[in-house]
Structure 1
Amino acid sequence: MRISARVSNQHDRNMLDLQTGEHKHSLDIPAKANSRGSSVNGGELLFLALATCYCNDIYREAGKRGIEVRSVEVEVSGEFGNEGEAARDISGCRGEPGRDPGSHAAYRLRGRDTQHAQKCFESSAVAL
């Protein structure tokens, strides 16, 4: 599956086009007011991508297990140091809005530890 993202920015216009396979769509993110570039930064989009991926994974994996999930809420946060430094202390929580706050499961991503993240997901997805 081929995935692509394209940003075309002019002084007062910010156009974002996304494609997965043959499915094409656009995302509306305004340009910076009185400046050039996007009104959101790459770190915000990175964390949005992580939250979106985790949300979609919950629905997909719950469906495979026959678990009904009515809604999902995911928040991702982290720190960026100086310009050009990698993100650190990336963490988040997910849960079903309106449920007991104790139903939220926290997770932390450390470097490239994807096996750990997958194990955390597998053990917590069934709790929904």
Structure 2
Amino acid sequence: MFGQRSQLWYHLLPHDTLELLARIYNLNRQEYIKCRDQLVERFNLSPFWNIPVRKLYLGQRMRAEVAASLLHAPKVLFLDEHTIGLDVIAREELRDLIREWNSGGSASFFLILACA
């Protein structure tokens, strides 16, 4: 997940984008629904689930971006400026999720941080 590159399709709803990504990654339907529902709940995507991405605020778009990046449960994930645009609660949720996946051996994360 890179701050300047989007996983989301500008004219689609976040719901449709995740559906499309599930098909691209050939995810098992039941596993996809389970993961999608967990991500929707964890990052509070419901309020803007059916609004086109182009109409979302930066924070909403970034939460949907995180969900899109994690949907296929990658084994290795590069996160560049991964908290830009996220509110405090979404940042904490992302950090908690990284800790959970990393400690459980589910994924390796590379965090790319800008230093000034």
- Normalised to the residue count of structure 1, the TM-score between the two structures is 0.27
More strand by share: 1
* Structure number with larger C-alpha Rg: 1
Task: Say which structure, 1 or 2, has more relative contact order (CA 8 Å, 6+ apart).
Answer: 2
